[in-house]
Amino acid sequence: MKGYGVFIILCLVLSFAGIEQGYSAQRYHRYEWILEPKVDGSMHIEWRVTICCEEEIFSTTWGKGLPIRNAKARDAETGESLEATLVDEGDRIKLQINLGEKGKSGYQFIVELDRFNVVKEENEVYYFEFGYSGIIEHTVTIILPEGHEFLYATLLDVEEVSTHANRVSVLFEKVSYEEEQFDVGIYFSEKGIQLLEKAESDFRNEQYNDAKEAYEDAIEFYSQVTTLYNRNKDEFLAELQEKVTECKNLAERQRLEHNTQLAEEKFEEAMTAFNSEDYKSAKALFIEAQSKYNSVNDSAKVSECQDYIDKCTHYIEQAQLRADAEALFNEGVTYFQQEQYEEAKAKFEEALAIFIELGDEEKIEECKEWIASCEEADKGFCLGTVMISLIVMWGSVILSWRKD
């Protein structure tokens, strides 16, 4: 990750009134810092101070840019509270601890306070820089929020990293034998851990596509980090990429097995429908099965499905033709019963043509019989009409003669 030019510097300007210049290695203060950064931007600070000389008033100054709250102090041995006061000095804040008669060389006390707007965040990575000045022997232990990992440090080498109760502690040590500025920067995050835990969980549950996505997200996340503590970043990313490839291969194998199973189930359903002569349902199921077989590159089963699809199409078309022929036949019977013999004959002839195409000998003969019946009935109807006409005409002639 790119370097961030944000310095959260806690400048501790010590008051060494009455102390001679030229400190020996045995005459500097000792600070034991515990810093607890939080994702809301604040940081809880606790440090144990061991003074090297007599001081009734211990004081440090802090920049006002980062607000201080909840400042307090106590005796390190007894826990007795010590008076702690914050004094506004313009652009600085002075913290004064009243040690009184206890302020002898070697005396230890503990200071606690909270500072705000200390911890910054970018792309789900948190970071801050801590610093102070003085002639001091010090240790700094930074305890990260629960579930976060230590990514890397800047400005000072790490002495030790440990983990307890899902919290990582990072230790730094330094001795300043003369007045100098001490700085350390640290970067941490929970994002990478969350992604890897998700990836590993999905992998164990054989959810390989989800695992693959989580590993890819982890690669993207760690790629933006400048370096990784005690890890070779390139090798680590390469390992994650291997997991991505493994997940991809397993997901493909899983897909093939799943689609093959689905194809076989659809094919069995299709065959059941086909054997029951439900060709419309069978055709739809064979099409589904064919699609699944095609997705697993099973060309033999794709071809077999196509054969059955063609058969279903043929039987569906045949069924439709038969339905059309039966409808025409029934219309012919209706016309015949209404003594509309020409219309009836026309319908029977249309039905006959379709039954011939279907090769239904029984219906062919039945249509022919009805057609013959229409022709006979039509002849009888015509002869009767002529006879009636002749009778009427003859009656008219006889009536005319009688009148004459």
Q: By C-alpha distance, which of 71, 75, 102 is closest to 87?
A: 71
Domains contained in the chain, CATH given:
29-188 (2.60.40.1730), 193-258 (no CATH), 298-386 (1.20.58)
For residue 263, give the amino acid letter: A
Distance CA 283, CA 307 (A): 10
When mean pLDDT is compared over 245-259, 354-368, 388-402, the highest value belongs to 245-259
pLDDT band, very low/low/confident/very high, at 380 (cuts 50, 70, 90): low
Give 393-399 contacts, CB < 8 A, sequence gap 24+.
Answer: none
* Alpha-helix runs per DSSP H in 296-360: 299-337, 341-358
Residue 283 makes CB contacts below 8 A (sequence gap 6+) with 308, 309, 312, 313, 316
Residue in the structure block whose two tokens are 């099965």: 289
Q: Give pLDDT tens digits for 113-151.
A: 999 999 999 999 999 999 887 777 889 999 999 999 999
> What tokens appear for 338 in the block?
């209404």
pLDDT band, very low/low/confident/very high, at 398 (cuts 50, 70, 90): low
> What tokens appear for 17 in the block?
């009134």
Q: Are 265 and 285 in contact (CB under 8 A)?
A: no
- pLDDT score of 388 more than 70: no
Element (DSSP H or E) covering residue 264: helix 233-275
* pTM score, whole prediction: 0.69
- pLDDT score of 357 more than 60: yes
Task: Determine how many CB atoms are found less than 10 A away from the CB of residue 89.
Answer: 11
User: According to the model, what pLDDT value does residue 90 have?
Assistant: 86
Distance CA 221, CA 201 (A): 18
Average pLDDT over residues 197-201: 98
